[in-house]
Structure 1
Amino acid sequence: EPIQNLTWNYLNPREPLLTELAKEINGYDHATGQLLSSFGQLQADGGTSSGNWLYTGSYTEAGNMMARRGTADPTGLGMHHEWAFSWPANRRVLYNRASADAEGRPWDPTRAGIAWTGREWIGDVPDYGRTTPPDAAGAFIMTEEGVARLFSSQMADGPFSEHYEPVESPTVNALHESVPVNPVINWYDGVRETLASEGDDFPHACTIYRVVEHEHFVTQNVPLLVEAMPDFFIEIPEGLAAEKGIENGGRARVWSKRGEVEGVAIVTKRIKPLLVNGRTVWTVGIPVHWGFAGGTSNTHASMANLLTPFIGDANTRCPEFKAFLVNIARAEPRAT
């Protein structure tokens, strides 16, 4: 259906200010026009609005909580509640109720994340109301029973956790060689034919990750973020780079059975070699950002998903993009 009612009352409708957007994401009480201070104030009757409930409390009538730079740390645990904002509710440790016993006494009094005084919780922002008694709710608020689960009847590959290798792996499954991969993963049509098989020359593991300057694919054309992290790159361990003759700042080419990418080589000490079943396995790192357009050097031909296998997780169908097999070589510098 078409949008028939839209509020677009920005100072400059063509280019809203970041503060205007931050306030909208935080949320308003429409009756008073006041900014909300907690997601607990959100109502389902249309009287309030929020761009994302997780960030409610990040920009309140007291100001921009994300801009705070207070360094006080009364817990001594590095929580720094007056430094910026942590979702949700400025909570610094999720499931922090689990750090105290049934009576609300910290398991480790020398490192008390939260503690019950008899009237309220002190320390971190608790997982529920500050005055909610210890026996009123469980520590794991996202499970029906309120406690941790050693097993789950709701998992397609449950009830107990098990180790399986990725569909492309440099090794056999040391725990059970006859069942190397998850037997109930989602196989999409035609995927098996795209996987590396024994005898293919793909000796290295590859993993995909994000960088702090970007949010998946949606920020690759935001000027300030592109300036901070301008383009696609390939992270290569020092030992593998030396073996392949790849220099830091040079160019490298990575390919799998499905496709290939090329980018600036970042030679790093960060990725260590793995000793797997008696042999050394190198891992190459590639950021997920960038794709058909974006960046500063027009590397729209290089995107991580050209390499990855299209396999669905057994429960959520999330793709198995974190581990697969590749090869790598030095690439010639581009003509300027």
Structure 2
Amino acid sequence: MVEAHFSPTDLISKSRTRAPPYVPSSGDSTMAVNSVRVAAAQMTSINDLATNYATCARLVKEAASAGAKLLCYPENFSFVGAKEGESLRIAEPLDGPIMKRYCALARESNMWLSLGGFQERGSDDAHLCNSHVLIDDAGKVRSTYKKMHLFDVDVPGGAVYKESNFTEAGKEIVAVDSPFGRLGLTVCYDLRFPELYQRLRFHHGVQVLLVPAAFTKVTGEAHWEVLLRARAIETQCYVIAAAQGGKHSEKRESFGDTLIIDPWGTVIGRLPDRASTGIVVADIDFSLIESVRTKMPISQHRMPIEFWKQASM
């Protein structure tokens, strides 16, 4: 038996009217609808908090003008160190002045913000947490995910990185309800580990995966898009991948290529210039998520963990 042949347009059921599985809590002002507009930002952050904030504030205005209600920033949106130890020196708790300023930006802009890769103060002076912080349109921190997989690699043709020298690894999977569906929070290098995304989809009911990143130029050229599309296809989720792009300093350059991908694996939003600063906008269509999952019900076909334990014997 071979897979049936159908296109993404075949998957969209025009007769479906059921609302997405998000029920606003008391106090929420934004009701879920059948589709909602989101945006992903691309920027070249540097080791200057004020300059990066000014860029973020400008991009919020662009996203609002485009009708988006969620703006996703890349990893290290607020600061990229140029010298060893700089990120540790500026790290602070979530109730510190840096995050308070971004909470105010969300509130004043009436915009949800996905702040990928914030330098949150760790458990000791020698470590920070690479934290993905989700803020709602009232300026409230809704959820925080600490990056699980740390980038300790010797990149072929590139530099040697050891993130664990100064970063604590997170241990908790984070999914959160929002007007944009159920969101799964991840950061950059997590992208190479499909188990996390499988759990977000099949154990936590996620509909949209957020992947803020600062991929290196070498790894980005080789793997960035194919990994993102694979995560979208195998989970049947939207993927919003906000990326750092361009040269941050003499020693550091990021690949860029900010993307938004639908549950069929189609790129529906892409910034034309990999190194430019700007936003890309797309609509999250809840009927498409439902239709893809109904017509290809992989959640029903997955083998339970018990099966794999027996098969490995």
Taking structure 2 as the reference length, the TM-score comes to: 0.20
Identify the structure with the greater helix proportion.
2
Identify the structure with the greater strand proportion.
2
Return the structure number with greater relative CO, CA threshold 8 A, min gap 6: 2
Taking structure 1 as the reference length, the TM-score comes to: 0.19
The structure with the largest alpha-carbon Rg is 1
